[in-house]
Amino acid sequence: MGLLRIMMPPKFQLLAVLAFGVAMLFLENQIQKLEESRGKLGNRLTFRGPRPEPERAIARHEVREIEQRHTMDGARDAPLEESEDVVIIYNRVPKTASTSFTNIAYDLCGKNKYHVLHINTTKNNPVMSLQDQVRFVKNVTSWREMKPGFYHGHVAFLDFTKFGVKRKPIYINVVRDPIERLVSYYYFLRFGDDYRPGLRRRKQGDKKTFDECVAAGGSDCAAEKLWLQIPFFCGHYSECWNVGSRWALEQAKYNLVNEYLLVGVTEELEDFIMMLEAALPRFFRGATELYRTGKKSHLRKTSEKKPPTKESIAKLQQSDIWKMENEFYEFALEQFQFVRAHAVREKDGELYLLAQNFFYEKIYPKMN
């Protein structure tokens, strides 16, 4: 700087000092940035270094689960035994003693070693979207850990053959006199039942009786509310849910006799349970005895229900909707009684299952 002071005019000496100061500030700023970068890099290297002991334990557990999963893959590829590869779907119609019957399935699942799963749909919508139909079919058919399985829920019949599955589930159901079902549902929405008495219901506080509703032309007791059992059996076609559709009625009948193993009636629930135990003992062994002699914890009764008057019944029976729903109920009842007549006999007021009534003979070629 002494040489610069001698050789350079005062004006230029001042400019040189200012330039030197700016350069020093720039260098300090760069050094600070480098120190910050080094600190961040150190932090990253520390995070990527050895994990604390709890994290390593979790990682080891996850690895073991993956290894076990791969080890089990071979067992999963092995076919299930025929008695285990069974799924029952009970697409229960509301207010047909469905909870009473389902609770028997729950009571028996531990003893008989099967799984019970409730199909809980959003807002109890009985119609699934197409993508949910695909998901549901895939779950039911490929969820090995849940087989044998008993699925139940308020969902419409779903034709599994449309999805190309090799093994269809077994469908069962229960139907009820349509006016009796509607009356029960009407009071259930207002007063609930003895199964969950503290649960607040949608129409709680409405004290109007069913007869008063019919006399006033209310919507909750209108004939259109009878249209439920037909679409539940008809399925996921749009026409099924067109109130009063003759096509829906015929499709429901077709499905009942072709797609359902057994359809009982609420009024003869014990006979339905007895026949299921005979046909599907893997699931229902002990069901009849439980129904007859158990503590009846499975039974469910709607509170505050009052029988409708003859006038209310007659008014509903004038509608074409009742006539169609009743036709379907009578059709189901006739089919159930036909199946029962070939399966049981009555003696001293009690029903008894018939023994096996067929055998094989004339078997060729003869065994040496």
Which residues are tagged catalytic? 152, 154
In DSSP notation, 113-131 reads T-EEEE---GGG-SS--HH
**240 close to 251: Cβ distance less than 8 angstroms:** yes
DSSP state of 266: G
Cα angle: 282, vertex 284, 286; to 5 degrees:
110
Q: Which of 146, 191, 195 is nearest to 301 (CA)?
A: 195
65/317 Cα distance (integer angstroms):
62
In whole angstroms, how far apart are CA 341 and each of 85, 205, 266, 271, 354?
30, 46, 17, 11, 10
222/220 Cα distance (integer angstroms):
6
- R_g over Cα of the chain: 36
In whole angstroms, how far apart are CA 340 and each of 269, 271, 292?
12, 8, 18
Q: Which of 89, 219, 99 is nearest to 165 (CA)?
A: 89
242/227 Cα distance (integer angstroms):
9
Q: Is 331 left (phi over 0), alpha (psi -120 to 50) or beta?
A: alpha
- The residue assigned the tokens 């993956």 is 66
